[in-house]
Structure formats: C-alpha cells, structure tokens
Structure 1
C-alpha cells in the first residue's frame, strides 16, 4: 500500500516539482512612502515573451501591418503566458526583514500577486526578493530588486527622479530592449519614477483591446521589454491612469464600450495590473523636508466632455478638489509638485481637444485650478498625455508646467514644432523623458532628455 501511495504521489507531484515559473513581465515597487510600499509581480509560464514578428508601418504610430486581432493571445507578438502558482515577497534591510505570506496566482486576477508592506524605516535601502513556484512542493525561482524608502519629513537630502508618459508597445525604438529612454533613465539612478498615464494603448492595433483578456495582454507584453523589466526592479513607481489605458480616446464614465470592454472593466484591469490600492485613485506623498507630490486622477469622477462648461462641470470631482485644497494648505514642504495625467497650463491644440484643463471645455475648473496652485509658493505642474516636450507658463497666473513628452520619437506628434506660442519657454516635438533634481531646500532643476539620454533643455528654479 505504501508503494502505491508513493507511486501516486510521484505521479501527481513529480512534474510539478520540476516545473519552472518565471517573472517575465518583471516586478513593480509602488506607492513608496517613508514607511510603506506595495510590491507586485505576474507569475509567468515562459521565460521570454513571444518575439515581435510583424513589420510596422512608418512613424508616427508604428502600427503592425496585417495584424490579426482575432488570433489567440498566446500567439501574439509580445505575449507572455501566465502561470497558476504561488508567490512570496521578501524585503531585507541591514537590520530587518519583512516577508509576505505565500500568495496564490490565479487566472481570474491574471496570475498577479500583490502585497502591501508597512512599518518600514525611512530613507532605508531594502533588497527585494520575489519567490515563485508552481505548487507547494515545486522548485522555487527567484528574482531580485531593490528600493529606498522616502526620507523623513525633517530630512533635506538631495535626490532626483524621472517622469515619462505615452508609450505604445509598437513604437519601440530598440528591437531588443524596447525603449531606449528607460535604459537612460536607469543610468540616472532615480529615487522614484512617475508614469503619468497612457502606459498602454487599448485602442491602437496589435491588438485592439476589445475584451479583458486583450487588455491584460497589453500590460504583460509591454512590461516584458527588457528595458522596462530591469528599470522597474530598481525604481519605485508612482503611476496614474489616462484615457488609453482605461478604454479609448477621451474615455470617461459615460463612454460606450470599446468592443466588449466597458469603462468599468478598464478601471478594474488598471488597478489589477498596478502596485496601487484599489480605492486610492488620487494621493499625496512626502519626500523629505523639501518635496511633496500630489498625483491627481482625472478619469473616474469626471463629467461628460460633451456637457457645456459650468461651475459643476469637472475633471477632478468635488471630493478630490476638496482634498487638494486641504492637503496643499496643510503642507509645509518647500516644493509642491502637482503631477497630472493631462495638461493644466498647456497650450493644447485649439481644434479637436476638449478633454483637459487647458481646453475651453473645462475652462471654469481650469481657471480655478491654476489660481489655486499659483497662490502657493514653489508650486510646479508636471503633466503627461501630450506627445511633445514643453515648458510653459500661464500668462495670467504665472504657473509653470513641464511636459515630459512621449517615450519614443516614433510616438512623438500632434504639434507643429514651428508653432511657438507665447506660453512656451521650450518646445520640442520629439520623444524622451523629464528628469527632476531636488537640491535640498534651495533649488529644483527640470531637465528634458531625448531618448538617448542627452539633456535638450534645463530649467533651474531657486526656491523662495
């Protein structure tokens, strides 16, 4: 009888014990404060993503040619098959260790594991170890990373961070690594990274995300590019959502389904795929004595874009507006940065745009927001969404805005580079990213970089 039971045990568990699991789409370290962080990974069944085999049309927007939107996802370019299994997160500093429980990864949540850590020490380096296995008796595979928590509120240490936006899988500029900008951002060793939305594009081919499975594929595919996978293992992320990574262009709660994908499903997938708490769409984080960041949210509570402008028409919603006023007035940080998925100052295109605070469609709330921010000392806006780089200053309030521009040159478009408006202090219709350096409580430096890591514009502001 014992021999029979042993034989059954070997049959049931033998293959599982030798099966390998992978972290092909990387790990994410999100929402880092001075005492907490959220870690996320997706357990994978294949070590590398499917190769890119389709040819692309010429830029901008290098859509794949003759892409079959109905092909099985596991056969698509960039596909990464998920794996049912178990994941555990471990954080180690010089003096402490934190472990999560083993978390089961299942198809219903796209094989994603997520864990929030609390009671961390400020300004402390934590080594990250993520363990994965297929079953209880399986071989364990491990991937590594690291991050540092934010400094305490009385710490005026120097640090830097990076900002990017608008990255379409098929607009990669390195056929092996994906996006050159990520490799150059990593060389700067940023304390954290702000991704301001349009991380993926559900409404651009390769595939068009007409359902939840195709939407999830967009995330695992772009995250598997080596430049992204390596960057985010060592760089904490604050991420925001915009229209294209929720549904389609100008998405809002009144949008019709995109294929079978509803706005509500798009919101759920976004929270599923990112290291953020489900009911925390807007938030603020303190980085030392010098800096406080506000990450606003502009999709979940907005009015219909088509409504006539009025005092009640909103992008932010009343609750978020009240929160913004309260937290800004309470803050004693030297520098206050509002990070917005969409422009607040602009200028934006005069025709065809009615989706952000620099457009006439939201002029009343836009005026209110610019005046609110301009009343504060040392306040600056960093925005995403626009596919060109700029520095602008509102002619009425003096509020300054910095647009990081698209992540690759292939994705840059939408503005005539010769059309320099009075608001513009810098304009460049090319891809790249924004680097920000905090020099204690004395100055802040905004550097625009091209995709090859060269500084193309620099603005230094002495602090009052």
Structure 2
C-alpha cells in the first residue's frame, strides 16, 4: 500500500511537471516590462524582452548589512537560471500599437532571437508633438498560440517654439543587492512616479558587473544582471509610463574605471560590454545626443567611456574623455541652440569636488585637468547647468573659477550611499548630503518669466534641497 501511494505520488508529480512545462512552452511574458526610449517630438524607441517565466527567481540569499550589501554565501558557479532575480528568455514575436486621441499606429509582428537575448527594439516614427500616447505590447509564441498583453503610456516632446512646463527626473548608481524595498526594489522609482515626469535620465551604473551576486565572468551572467534589475516591480512600472534617456558608465559597461583596452572581466571584453549595452537598452546607434523639450529646455546626453583615453597616461591637451568628434558635435549643437535653459546630463562629474585620492577617471580629477578646465569654462560661458551621475552622495556645487553649477543625484538607496564624509563641506559645496535619492529638474514660467529649478529628493520622496534660477 505504501509503495502504491509512493508510485501514485511520483506519477502525479511527473504529470504536474509535464503540464507546467507544456503550459510554459505555450506562453510568453513581459516579466521585465518594456521601455520607451529616446522620445522626440515625432518618434520613440520601444524596447522589450520576451520571457519564459511569469515571475523572476525569488531572492533566496541574505545580505550583509553594510554599504553595497553583498549577498552572503553566494555561489558564483551556480546555474544562472537559478540565481536570485533570474528571468529566462523565450522565442516568440511582438506587436506594437500606439493610440492617441486622434491617431493610431500599429507595427506588425516581429520575431525575437536568442542571438540578441530575445530582446526587441523598434523605432516608432510619425508621432505627433506634445501628445499623450497609450501603448500596447502584445507577445506570443506564434500565430496559433495565446497572446500576452501589457500597457503603458508617455508624452512626446513639444516642438521647439512651444512654451510648455517640463519636469524630469534623473538617477544613478543602482546595485541589485542595495535594494531598500524587498518586494518592489528601490523606493525612489515609486516616488518619482508620483511626480509624473515627462522623462527620466538614468546616468549610468544601471547594473554592476564587477560586484558579487554574481560577479560577472560570462556574457550569460552579464545579461542576468539586466534581467534581475528590470524585473523589480518599481522599475518595471515606472519605465512603462516614463520615457527614458539612458547613459552608460563603467560598471554597466565592464568594470570600475573602464576605458577601451581595459582588461576583460572574466570572458567579457570591452567590446562585448558595448554590444550588451546596446542590446539591453532603448537607445539608437549614437551614444551622444541632444533633445529639445519646448522653447525653454534643451538637454544633452554625453558619452564618457567609448572614446576616452587611457586613464593612467599623463594629462595633456590630447588626453580626452569625450573624444574629438563628440566635442565638435557638442560645441556645434550648444552654439546653435536658442533654448532658454541648457542642461548637460553627464554620467561622471565635471565640477565635483571628487575624492582627492584614488580617483582619476573624470573631469573633476587631476588626471583630466586640461580637458576639465576647458570644459568647465566653456559650459559656464554658454550658461549650461550640469546634472551628473557616478557619485554616491548628493551635492550642489559651484566651480570656484568658472562659476559652473553642478547637481549630483546620489545613489538610488541609502544602502548604496557613501564615498564622502558629510562633515567635509568644501567651499564649492552649496549642498552636501551623503544619502541616496534622486534629482528632479523643473522648467516653468511664472508671469511669463522662465524659471528652472533643481530639487534633491531623499529615497522617501521628501525634498531635501532646492535651487531656483531665472533667465
């Protein structure tokens, strides 16, 4: 009798396993959501990934209670599909539909491929300026299979002569294991969503290849970092209704202080890191670009890793972070702009101050003093504000020579903050806080006079600092 029950139990489990496998094989999921990138007044790039799992692998490791909160006893050699936050991809096809009050755009089915990690990226054109669009993504294995649907929404940018208020948010430096909400991920995303930003700028270090949980050794592990991060509910929901302009820095490209020619990370080369970044983000072919958001705002997004010199060589007029082509493009577009306010969004600091020792890879360091001094002077002369990433503390600073103003967002959580002593207030600092949070930038008119406002928020959505400037 006991044997019979055992055999029945085994048969039942086998049946359940087969049934689940068959069910899984017939469905696709948008477990990591989708992103709306590079929004202009007439186009947007839609990015998504078809998933085999409806939910990610649950977190099953505890963390050390310290900065960066690495997981305890993490097996870096475990199968990637079993790691915390893992989401397998799957073959299938995607269809896009966009709806406005007066317009409908439909893009027919297109298959995804294992070669590109089952990701899908498509530029949608012929959109109307300053228009609210609902977006519907449908996925399926094929024409004979059931469909899965997800929804989102966004605004396109206004035309350059339109006077429209704009609020956008920006953030930086997010390690998966530094989450501050065990169910939703990072609290700042839910707080930013409440502000209903017209767009968001993520300024780099979206993931950390060179930190444990896993420490990346293969392309499969590198892709896993993106899957796990994108599956957090707070990120997933935010990006399905907030257009994104994303930049890369060192940790989401390869490793700390990355530059062309830097040694591989395990089997992942610098060139691999570049290919993966373009695969996993809603960006076009050029990493530096500018976008106008009405009459009063133009933003510039720059590239700081692809074209730079070796960090370790002696400083000179030839040593560069941006590269000659990007510098020429930047000067031409800045000088051609008639926007009321110009904002440069940089993955790394330009003013700082940065730590006096151990750092040599940004414009506020002595290693790039020549280009940094020129850039600070040029930006100040052209009345450009700087929003920067990379630093794990919040600050507002003014360069003592040029008068250039810079606003640092801080890391996404208090657990990820650090690198500076809050008591070490220098003359450049107008505000200093060694905690996590985000930045909101607000452009508006009052009695027909244009203003720009920079607001630092903590992780709970409280304003901790504000500076306002008029034309």
Normalising TM by the smaller chain, what interval? over 0.9
Alignment-derived partner of residue 381 in structure 1: 386
Q: 1-side partners of 2:147 and 2:121: how far apart?
A: 18
How many angstroms does 1:136 deviate by? 2.2
Alignment-derived partner of residue 461 in structure 2: 453
Determine which of 384, 405, 409 is the counterpart of 1:400. Answer: 405
Question: SS where residue 421 of structure 1 aligns?
Answer: coil
The answer to whether structure 1 residue 317 and structure 2 residue 323 are counterparts is yes
Question: SS where residue 300 of structure 2 aligns?
Answer: strand
Question: SS where residue 234 of structure 1 aligns?
Answer: coil
Q: Deviations over 1:355-384 (max 9, x none)?
A: 00000000000011111111113x200000
How many angstroms does 1:58 deviate by? 1.2
Moved over 3 A (4+): 15-18
Gaps of 5+ in 2: 1-21
Alignment-derived partner of residue 237 in structure 1: 244
1:42-441 mapped onto 2 (5 Å cutoff)? 42-277=49-284, 279-377=285-383, 379-440=384-445
Change (3 A) 1:17 1:219: closer
How many angstroms does 1:18 deviate by? 8.0
How many angstroms does 1:104 deviate by? 1.0
How many angstroms does 1:97 deviate by? 1.3
Alignment-derived partner of residue 22 in structure 1: 29
Q: 2-side partners of 1:290 and 1:80: how far apart?
A: 42
Q: 2-side partners of 1:22 and 1:439: how far apart?
A: 40
Q: Relative to structure 2, which stretch is displaced further, 60-69 or 88-97?
A: 88-97
Question: SS where residue 101 of structure 1 aligns?
Answer: strand
How many angstroms does 1:51 deviate by? 0.6
How many angstroms does 1:261 deviate by? 0.4
How many angstroms does 1:323 deviate by? 0.4
Whether the 8 Å CA contact 2:93–2:109 is kept in 1: the answer is yes
How many angstroms does 1:101 deviate by? 2.6
Matched residue count: 447
User: CA RMSD for the aligned pairs?
Assistant: 1.1
Q: 1-side partners of 2:260 and 2:23: how far apart?
A: 44
TM-score normalised over the length of structure 2? 0.94
Alignment-derived partner of residue 12 in structure 1: none
Whether the 8 Å CA contact 1:16–1:137 is kept in 2: the answer is no
Whether the 8 Å CA contact 1:84–1:111 is kept in 2: the answer is yes
Whether the 8 Å CA contact 2:171–2:201 is kept in 1: the answer is yes
